[in-house]
Amino acid sequence: MHRFDEEAEARKKTTVSSPTQYFVPASVPRPAAPGKPGGKFQRWLMERRVQPVGPEREDHDDARHQWWKVMCLTGVDYFSTLSYLPAIAALAAGALSPLATLLIVILTLFGMLPMYRRVAQQSPNGQGSVAMLERLLPFWRGKIFVLVLLGFVATSWIITITLSSADATVHLLENPGTPDFLRGAAVPVTILMLLVLGGVFLLGFTEAVAAAVPLVAIFLAFNAVIIGGSLVEAFATEGALVQWGNALGQVSGSPLDLIGPAVLAFPLLVLGLSGFETGVSMMPLIAADGSTKRERREVRIHNTRKLLTTAAVIMSVYLLGSSFVTTVLIPAAAFEEGGAATAGPWPTWRTSISAKASARSMTSAAS
């Protein structure tokens, strides 16, 4: 028995003291490299795919653009809401439309803008606020939460782009110079516009930026002329501001009566705020100078902040101006179903405004 214990102890010492043996193969076969796309269409689709973020990722400066050009690309989504937000505000809040729009401007400049300037710093590779929120939650809960958020973002983007295209179709079809064969073809024309826009983005971001810059410049220039001229008319038309003030007096027995309808109309006017997330997602497209990746990263964050601030200020000024002239110059009845602002081209409600102003002038002269 004693001898058996000695042999077991010796085997134990031998096992503990002997080093572990590992088998190292002489060579390891390399995994087969993925083959290149065979057809021309497949090669075209994969030509400028986004590479995963990491330390070995190369910078491709030839595919990047100045920040104001990228702002025009995001403006195709953001600025286009100017086409219908004033009318939505007028229908939802009536004479209080400028106050409801002012709430949107306050939220934009003092809420969304500071928040997304922070997002640009924390997520400089274009993942946006979704990636920041994912880091706050554990593995599966974070991923499910991100999927839900992406669903909301995609829905908002689809709604915005569809409304903008539909509004552009209405402007086109109600133009007196539009050919007669296009009358009543609102749905096909809207679908055609969506297909053209999607085709531009399929060509590549470089081509999309090249198309967006002149379009946004022309759109903002036309709106500046229209809003500027309407402001002159609003202040020059006798009784226009007085009538708006009287309408405010009829609905405002207390400050709450003014703020309440404006707050209730608020959710209908936030469609354009998705443009901030779009702007942050475009960060990889923004050019940045610097000798190192760290320097280029800091410059890109700075340029993105300039993009967000410039877009927010432009949109705020245009929204306030358009909402004010829409409320003051266009009669409330014109926004209802079958009214001049919804059933006829622009000269129709323009003529209605002029006729109303003339009637006010004749009434004042007679009294």
Has residue 337 got a pLDDT over 80? no
* Residue-wise pLDDT tens digits, 283-299: 888 888 888 888 888 99
Distance, CA of 232 to CA of 242 (rounded, Å): 15
In this structure, is residue 39 part of a structural domain?
Answer: no
Has residue 220 got a pLDDT over 90? yes
pLDDT at 354: 37
pLDDT: which is higher, 221 or 142: 221
Distance, CA of 105 to CA of 98 (rounded, Å): 10
29: left (phi over 0), alpha (psi -120 to 50) or beta: beta
In this structure, is residue 55 part of a structural domain?
Answer: no
pLDDT: which is higher, 203 or 319: 319
Nearest to 86 by CA among 235, 223, 198, 229: 223
* Residue-wise pLDDT tens digits, 115-173: 889 888 888 877 777 777 777 777 777 778 778 877 877 787 787 788 778 888 888 88
Name the phi and psi angles at 139, rounded to 5: -50, -75
In this structure, is residue 33 part of a structural domain?
Answer: no
pLDDT at 203: 75
Has residue 318 got a pLDDT over 80? yes
Domain count, the chain: 1
pLDDT at 367: 37
Has residue 237 got a pLDDT over 90? no
DSSP state of 93: H
Q: What is the mean pLDDT of residues 234-250?
A: 83
pLDDT band at residue 97 under the 50/70/90 scheme: confident
167 burial type by CB count under 10 A (0-12 exposed, 13-18 middle, 19+ buried): middle
Q: Is 124 in a helix, a strand, or coil?
A: coil
Mean pLDDT of the chain: 76
Between 175-184, 188-197, 259-268, 319-328, the lowest mean confidence (pLDDT) is in 259-268
Name the phi and psi angles at 286, rounded to 5: -85, 125
Rg of the chain (C-alpha set):
30
Residue 245: CB atoms within 10 A of its CB come to 12
Residue 231, both tokens: 């402001």
What is the residue type of 83? S
In this structure, is residue 342 part of a structural domain?
Answer: yes
Give me the residue label for tokens 């990047």. 64
DSSP state of 17: H
Distance, CA of 268 to CA of 284 (rounded, Å): 31
What is the residue type of 141? R
Distance, CA of 7 to CA of 10 (rounded, Å): 5
Residue 259: CB atoms within 10 A of its CB come to 15
Has residue 4 got a pLDDT over 70? no
In this structure, is residue 228 part of a structural domain?
Answer: yes
In this structure, is residue 234 part of a structural domain?
Answer: yes
In this structure, is residue 51 part of a structural domain?
Answer: no
Q: What is the DSSP string of 274-337?
A: HHHHHHHHTGGGB----SSHHHHHHHHHHHHHHHHHHHHHHHHHHHHHHHHHHHHHS-GGGGST
In this structure, is residue 225 part of a structural domain?
Answer: yes
pLDDT at 345: 41
Containing domain of residue 106, as a range?
63-357
Q: What is the DSSP string of 64-90?
A: -B-HHHHHHHHHHHHGGGGGTHHHHHH
pLDDT: which is higher, 211 or 16: 211
In sequence order, the β-bridge partners of residue 286 are 65
